[in-house]
């Protein structure tokens, strides 16, 4: 009986998580367009619903009813597989991510995470590494020069930025003496990691921007020179999959930044519910992503590689060494 | 807002991305500035200036008679030959247009007809909403031209308006003079 309840609870949590992750991009697209509009002194969507609030729904209906076009020369199997491969890893990663300690519902303590892995951080990085397959397959299967160029760029970019990203969090792991995200947050109860690891956060965040394919590192899409990069040939719901995946990765990088460097659900000064603190911090990072997008121009490809290998990698290595020495 | 200070040669600013911070501060400022979007046709509408060249109209004299003497100068000077005038002699023995048609689909709104007119009978008015599903509907005759609105008396403002689609697509304004659109332009 207890096993059934536990399994049911896990199934419920997973379903809730998937629902949230699938639906969250809807308001996020609205927010992004509103931020874009106001930064450019426009208004953004205004006509569908109050201040355009129903615009994402209209967009969703449009994408669902659009022709699902597959190019004649495309590799049909890979072409259909790629959006799913791009979509699944960001969802899987959230299994390992804690959103808080626990809340009591009807006298039962319910933990706010699906599983507390002792190697959660490693799991996150391993799974998010798989996401690059969706991009490569998508670009390759479409049989279009823009898509191939876009996916080649993405491939090189993701692989080279995953290294500094992985190194950047080692300082955090050293401080917490654990790779469990729950323990990492608990270790920040008094002082957030950003105080000890400013360089680590900087490297992590910049690499995260590159990982999420956001401006100033969105060379995979680079609509000015590549059409739309690896998803040039995608339309309709398959394109929507790539978009949802992009927003999920953006959310993931925000959540990881909060958990690893900004104390997770630990608040400061103002006593708010821990979950609210967590949501507020994540919202700030999501806003930061969008704010960056409409402020900075795109880096050139060689600059991107130079930043990754010549700046971020040495910085992250130095960060590990200094943290280690300080620990001794 | 001031221009970004010159940080060439200061490595501290370079190391802490002062330029990027400047850019972020600028866009953040813009984010909370007023939008310049004119919400036409839902909420606002622009009023033309008095010099605006919109849809043609024909004028009447004090007795309410058409001013046009059907000299056809406007038709001659028109660079796109969109005016067609056929004269006749009315009861008082005056030369008047029996037919005065302007093909608005071909008109380029140069205003030469207005300049050429010796009787001050034709002018380009303030109306600019006359789109149509058929180019045949854009050929406007004499009696319609007499009813068209004249030159704007005020103008250049943005006024509150309402889209009315009951009989035809109309954007109704509710006030005579609006705010200056340029007031929301942010100058740094």
Residues 257-316, chain A, touching B (beta carbon < 8 A): 291-292, 294-296
Helix (H, G, I), strand (E, B) or coil at B42: coil
Q: B28 to chain A: which residues are within 8 Å by CB? A: 291
**Contact criterion met (CB below 8 Å) for A110 and A104:** yes
| Sign of the torsion formed by the C-alpha atoms of A117, A119, A123 and A124 | positive
- Test B39 with A46 for CB contact under 8 angstroms: yes
Question: How many Cβ pairs within 8 Å bridge chains A and B?
Answer: 40
A window 95-134, beta carbon within 8 A of B: none
pLDDT given for residue A152 in this prediction: 85
* Residue B100, strand partner residues: B85
Using beta carbons and an 8 Å cutoff, which residues of B are at the interface with A? 20, 23-24, 26-28, 30-37, 39, 42, 184, 186
Structure tokens at B52: 């605006």
> Does position A227 have pLDDT exceeding 60, yes or no?
yes
Residue A235: band (very low, low, confident or very high) from pLDDT cuts 50, 70, 90: confident
- Spell out which residues of chain B touch residue A292, defining contact as CB-CB under 8 Å: 24
Structural fold of domain B44-173: Alpha-Beta Plaits (3.30.70)
Domain spans, chain B: 44-173
Which of A38, A40, A47 is opposite residue B42, by nearest beta carbon? A47
Of A103, A112, A87, the C-alpha closest to A234 is A87
Quote the minimal CA–CA distance from B86 to chain A in Å. 48
Beta strands in chain A (DSSP E): 102-105, 108-111
pLDDT in tens, A301-322: 888 888 889 989 999 999 999 9
**Which residues from chain A sit within 8 angstroms of residue B184, using beta carbons?**
41
Does A222 score more than 80 pLDDT?
no
Interface test with B, best of A38, A201, A294 (most B CBs within 10 A): A38
Q: How many CB atoms lie within 10 A of CB A65?
A: 10
Handedness of CA A311, A312, A313, A315 (dihedral sign): positive
Distance CA A275, CA A273 (A): 6
Secondary structure of residue B109 in the 3-state scheme: coil
How far is Cα B122 from Cα B113, in angstroms, rounded to an integer? 7
Measured in angstroms, the CA of A38 and the nearest CA of chain B are apart by 5
With CB atoms and an 8 Å threshold, state whether B30 touches A46: no
Give the CA count within 13 Å in the CB-facing half-sphere of B176: 3
Give tens-digit pLDDT for A283-296.
999 999 999 988 88
Q: Which of A35, A41, A42 sits opposite B186 (nearest CB)?
A: A41
Predicted confidence (pLDDT) per residue in B75-125, tens digit:
999 999 999 999 999 888 899 999 999 999 999 999 999 999 999 999 999
CA distance B153 to A190: 70
pLDDT at A106 over 80: no
CA atoms within 13 A on the CB side of A124: 29
pLDDT at position B168 is: 65
Q: Longest C-alpha distance within chain B, in Å?
A: 91
End-to-end CA distance of chain B: 6
Residue of A nearest to B32 (CA): A38
Nearest to B31 among A39, A43, A46 (CB): A39
In this predicted model, what pLDDT tens digit does every residue of B58-67 receive, in sequence order? 999 988 889 9
Cα maximum dimension of chain A: 62
> Which residues, 6 or more positions from B169, have their beta carbon under 8 angstroms from its beta carbon?
B41, B129, B163
- B27 in Cβ contact with A295 (< 8 Å): yes
Cβ contact A292–B24 (<8 Å) = yes
Q: Provide, as residue numbers in chain A, all residues whose Cβ is less than 8 Å from the Cβ of B30.
A: 38-41
Mutate to test the interface with B, among A39, A287, A315 (most CBs of B within 10 A): A39
Measured between CA atoms, the residue of chain A closest to residue B34 is A41
Distances (CA, A) of A261 to A225, B71, B186: 36, 84, 37
Task: Give the integer Cα–Cα distance in Å for A257 and B55.
Answer: 60
Residue A121: Cβ within 10 Å count? 24
User: With an 8 Å Cβ cutoff, are A41 and B35 in contact?
Assistant: yes
| pLDDT band for position B8 (cuts 50, 70, 90) | low
| Angstroms from A307 CA to nearest CA on chain B | 14
CA distances (Å), B54 to each of A145, A255, B49, B104, B168, in order? 48, 56, 10, 10, 19
Residue-wise pLDDT for B10-34, tens only, equals 777 777 788 888 889 988 888 888 8
């Amino acid at each position: 009986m207890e096993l059934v309840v536990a399994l049911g609870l896990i199934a419920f949590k997973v379903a809730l998580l998937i629902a949230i992750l699938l639906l969250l991009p809807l308001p996020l697209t609205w927010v992004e367009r509103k931020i874009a509009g106001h930064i450019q002194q426009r208004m953004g969507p205004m006509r569908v619903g109050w201040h355009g609030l129903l615009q994402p729904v209209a967009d969703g209906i449009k994408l669902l009813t659009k022709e699902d076009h597959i190019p004649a020369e495309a590799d049909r199997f890979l072409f259909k597989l790629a959006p799913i491969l791009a979509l699944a890893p960001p969802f899987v990663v959230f299994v390992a991510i804690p959103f808080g300690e626990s809340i009591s519902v009807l006298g039962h303590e319910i933990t706010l995470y699906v599983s507390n892995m002792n190697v959660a951080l490693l799991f996150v990085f391993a799974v998010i590494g798989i996401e690059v397959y969706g991009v490569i397959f998508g670009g390759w299967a479409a049989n279009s020069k823009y898509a191939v160029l876009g996916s080649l760029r993405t491939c090189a970019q993701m692989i080279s930025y995953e290294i500094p990203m992985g190194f950047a969090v080692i300082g955090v792991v050293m401080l917490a003496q654990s790779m469990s995200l729950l323990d990492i947050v608990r270790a920040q109860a008094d002082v957030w990691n950003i105080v000890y690891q400013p360089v680590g956060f900087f490297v992590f965040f910049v690499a995260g921007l590159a990982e999420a394919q956001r401006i100033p590192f969105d060379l995979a899409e680079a609509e000015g020179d590549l059409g739309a990069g690896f998803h040039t040939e995608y339309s309709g719901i398959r394109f929507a999959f790539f978009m949802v995946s992009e927003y999920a990765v953006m959310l993931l990088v925000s959540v990881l930044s909060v958990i690893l460097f900004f104390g997770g659900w630990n608040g400061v000064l103002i006593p708010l519910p821990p979950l609210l603190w967590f949501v507020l911090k994540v919202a700030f990072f999501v806003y930061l992503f969008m704010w960056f997008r409409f402020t900075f121009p795109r880096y050139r490809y060689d600059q991107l590689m130079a930043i990754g290998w010549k700046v971020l990698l040495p910085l992250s290595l130095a960060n590990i060494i200094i943290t280690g020495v300080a620990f001794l | 807002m001031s221009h970004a200070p010159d940080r060439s040669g200061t490595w501290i600013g370079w190391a802490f991305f002062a330029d990027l911070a400047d850019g972020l501060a600028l866009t953040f400022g813009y984010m909370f500035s007023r939008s310049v979007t004119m919400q036409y046709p839902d909420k606002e509408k622009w009023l033309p200036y008095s010099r605006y060249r919109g849809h043609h109209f024909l004028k009447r004299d004090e007795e309410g008679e058409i001013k046009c003497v059907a000299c056809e100068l406007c038709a001659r000077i028109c660079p796109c030959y969109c005016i067609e005038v056929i004269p006749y002699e009315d009861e008082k023995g005056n030369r008047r247009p029996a037919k005065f048609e302007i093909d608005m689909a071909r008109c380029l709104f140069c205003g030469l007809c207005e300049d050429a007119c010796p009787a001050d009978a034709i002018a380009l008015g303030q109306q600019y909403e006359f789109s149509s599903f058929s180019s045949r509907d854009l050929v406007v005759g004499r009696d319609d031209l007499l009813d068209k609105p004249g030159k704007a008396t005020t103008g250049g403002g943005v006024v509150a308006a309402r889209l009315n689609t009951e009989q035809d697509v109309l954007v109704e304004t509710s006030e005579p003079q609006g705010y200056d659109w340029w007031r929301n332009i942010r100058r740094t």
